[in-house]
Structure 1
């Protein structure tokens, strides 16, 4: 999956991360019909070889994105890569100041543009786990954080969380 991680699997399928599995499947099927080796039998060998490589790339992208777990893992890796970019951070927000949306299982915070900053409970947990693995000798009150982008504009915030408070909130839910 290391070569796939370098390429945008959604772009390979001509899709977007917000597309449903059914939409991704439809795109995959369309592209598979175009590039399947059986369909390229009458073309010259260099075109057939190029088509075969394209088909293998399309098939590999579909194999990752069709499964909920591998797609989630890919999306997390993709997001982590995006967040490593030097994006300007507009402000720092405490997780405790964000609103918990029980229906969607996300924390939200309103942006000044009218959009929202959202972070899932899983993302908070992943950040917390990485932080614990990085340094097991931290004090309980240490703050860890993650950069979250607005869903509408280009602003981003650094969301911090008191590890002790977060653990208590999760126990109460």
Structure 2
């Protein structure tokens, strides 16, 4: 189980003070700045115990955020989960579709399905293994992607 799955509602980007579109080098700079600021050894010896505890908690959160966002694979999984959470918040699922019901497009190596609005749902071959929700490229409808067991 991945670290971000243990606390799924944490926004690791906001913990680092970063935008989800930030590059890994930008994320690293923000991480390094924050980790030094909140490092337990950098705290004043005469600081109240409560503020020291808060700094330690913040330090731990910053470290967790970097462990997820600083690794290409875990960052990709986290970003996909965020995207799916956003889609879930947009509204109910319009339909449940098996991947095999979608059309394969050899040119761009993706699966697609026409939406009732005239737009289309599309997902790359790689993403098809990881995502469960796909939004229409034109309207706000969402389908759930199912896989045969």
Normalized against structure 2, the TM-score is what? Answer: 0.66
Q: Do the aligned partners of 1:36 and 1:55 also contact (CA within 8 Å) in 2? A: yes
Deviation at 1:17, TM superposition (A): 2.2
Going by fraction, where is helix more abundant, 1 or 2? 1
Q: Structure 1 121/16 Cα, relative in aligned 2: closer, same or farther at 3 Å?
A: farther
Cα RMSD, aligned residues only: 3.9
3-state DSSP class of the match of 1:148?
strand
Size of the alignment, in residue pairs? 138
3-state DSSP class of the match of 1:126?
coil
1:52 is matched with which residue? Answer: 56
Q: Do the aligned partners of 1:100 and 1:107 also contact (CA within 8 Å) in 2? A: no
Measured in 2, the distance between the counterparts of 1:150 and 1:68 equals 27
Measured in 2, the distance between the counterparts of 1:150 and 1:18 equals 22
Q: Deviations over 1:15-54 (max 9, x none)?
A: 1222211111011112112211122133222111101100
Measured in 2, the distance between the counterparts of 1:160 and 1:154 equals 17
3-state DSSP class of the match of 2:123?
strand
Q: What is the aligned counterpart of 1:96 among 95, 103, 127? A: 103
Measured in 2, the distance between the counterparts of 1:158 and 1:98 equals 19
Q: Structure 1 16/86 Cα, relative in aligned 2: closer, same or farther at 3 Å?
A: same
Deviation at 1:58, TM superposition (A): 0.5
Alignment of 1:129-140 (within 5 A): none
Q: What is the aligned counterpart of 1:71 among 56, 68, 75? A: 75
